[in-house]
Amino acid sequence: MLAYGACGYAISYFITPAIWRVGKECNLLTAPDFFETRYKSRALGIATAILYFLMVVPTLHCS
């Protein structure tokens, strides 16, 4: 389990600056905003928002 966290941090170290730059240039606040703007797809933005909601609600409920 510890290796997954280490791999996630290593990968995000390289990917996060690029995502941050696009978000800052386009004034984006959320991941669905990012995907909608980056890929010019309203459906992808909505799908991402629904997926995020479905992933966060059980986490909050179990805490």
The whole-angstrom separation of Cα 5 and Cα 17 is 19
Q: In the predicted model, is pLDDT for residue 6 greater than 90?
A: no
List, for residues 28-43, the tens digit of each pLDDT value: 999 999 999 989 999 9
Q: What pLDDT, on the 0 to 100 scale, is given for residue 29?
A: 94
List, for residues 41-53, the tens digit of each pLDDT value: 999 999 999 999 9
Q: What pLDDT, on the 0 to 100 scale, is given for residue 1?
A: 62
Angle at the Cα of 7 (from 5 to 13), degrees rounded to 5?
100
Mean pLDDT of 13-22: 91
Residue-range domain boundaries for the chain: 2-62
**Burial letters 20-56, b for 16+ CB under 10 A, else e:** eeebeeeebeeebbbbbbeeeeeeebeebbeeeeeee
At 58, give phi and psi (nearest 5°): -65, -35
Q: In the predicted model, is pLDDT for residue 61 greater than 90?
A: no
